[in-house]
Amino acid sequence: MRFSQSFLDEIRDRVPISDVIAKRVSWDRRKTNVSRGDYWACCPFHGEKSPSFHCEDRKGRYHCFGCGVSGDHFRFLTDLEGLSFPEAVQQIADMAGVAMPQPDPQAERREKERTSLLDVMELATAYFEDQLQTANGAKARAYLRERGLTGRTIETFRLGYAPDSRNALKEHLAGKGVGKEQIEACGLVVHGPDVPVSYDRFRDRIMFPILSSREKVIAFGGRAMSPDAPAKYLNSNETELFHKGNVLYNFARARRASQGAARDVGQDDAAGTIIAVEGYMDVIALHQAGVENAVAPLGTALTENQLDLLWKMTSQPVLCFDGDGAGIRAANRGVDLALPHLKPGRSVRFAMLPDGKDPDDLVRQEGRGPFDKVLANARSLAEMVWQREIQGGAFDTPEKRAELEARLKQVTSVIADESVRRHYGQDMRDRLHAFLQSSGAGRGERRPFERGGRQGGGGGARGAGQPRGPNASGPTAISDRLARSTLVSGQQVAPLLRESVLALTIVNHPQLLFDEYDEISTIEFDHRELQRCWAAVLNAAAAQGPRLNREDLLEQLQAEGFGALIAAIDQQIRYARLWTATTAAAPEDAREGYLQALALHQRSKALHWQVRELERELAHATEEGDLEAVPQLLRTLQEVQHEVTRLENQEAIIEGFGVLSGRVKGPAAR
330-344 pLDDT, tens per residue? 899 999 999 999 998
CATH 3.30.1360.70 fits domain 5-96 = no
Asked if residue 76 lies in contact with residue 82, where contact means CB atoms within 8 angstroms, the answer is no
pLDDT band at 487 (very low <50, low <70, confident <90, very high): very low
With a cut of 50, say whether residue 659 has pLDDT above it: no
What average pLDDT is seen over the chain?
81
Position 395 scores a pLDDT of 87
pLDDT band at 482 (very low <50, low <70, confident <90, very high): very low
| Domain extent listing, the chain | 5-96, 105-242, 251-385, 393-489, 497-657
Position 112 scores a pLDDT of 65
With a cut of 60, say whether residue 38 has pLDDT above it: yes
**pLDDT top residue among 293 and 534:** 293
The 3 state secondary structure assigned to 88-124 is HHHHHHHHHCCCCCCCCHHHHHHHHHHHHHHHHHHHH
242-256 pLDDT, tens per residue? 998 889 999 989 988
Q: Which fold has domain 251-385?
A: Dna Topoisomerase Vi A Subunit; Chain: A, domain 2 (3.40.1360)
Mean pLDDT of all residues in 471-484 = 38
Tell me what percent of the residues of the chain surpass a pLDDT of 70. Answer: 82
610-625 pLDDT, tens per residue? 777 777 777 777 766 7
Mean pLDDT of all residues in 47-62 = 87
Mean pLDDT of all residues in 517-523 = 64
CATH superfamily of 105-242: DNA primase, catalytic core, N-terminal domain (3.90.980.10)
> Long-range contacts of range 29-38, CB-CB < 8 Å, 24 or more positions apart?
30/518, 31/518, 33/518, 34/345, 35/315, 35/344, 35/345, 36/262, 36/267, 36/268, 36/314, 36/315, 36/345, 37/315, 38/262
184-238 pLDDT, tens per residue? 999 999 998 888 999 999 999 999 999 988 789 999 999 999 988 888 999 999 9
The closest alpha carbon to 596, from 639, 659, 536, belongs to 659
81-120 pLDDT, tens per residue? 778 888 899 999 999 888 888 766 665 666 666 678 999 9
Mean pLDDT of all residues in 580-594 = 85
Dump the DSSP string for 528-596: HHHHHHHHHHHHHHHHHGGG--HHHHHHHHHHTT-HHHHHHHHHHHHHTT-GGGSTTS-HHHHHHHHHH
Position 67 scores a pLDDT of 81
Bridge partners, residue 270, by sequence: none
Asked if residue 633 lies in contact with residue 615, where contact means CB atoms within 8 angstroms, the answer is no
**pLDDT top residue among 469 and 102:** 102
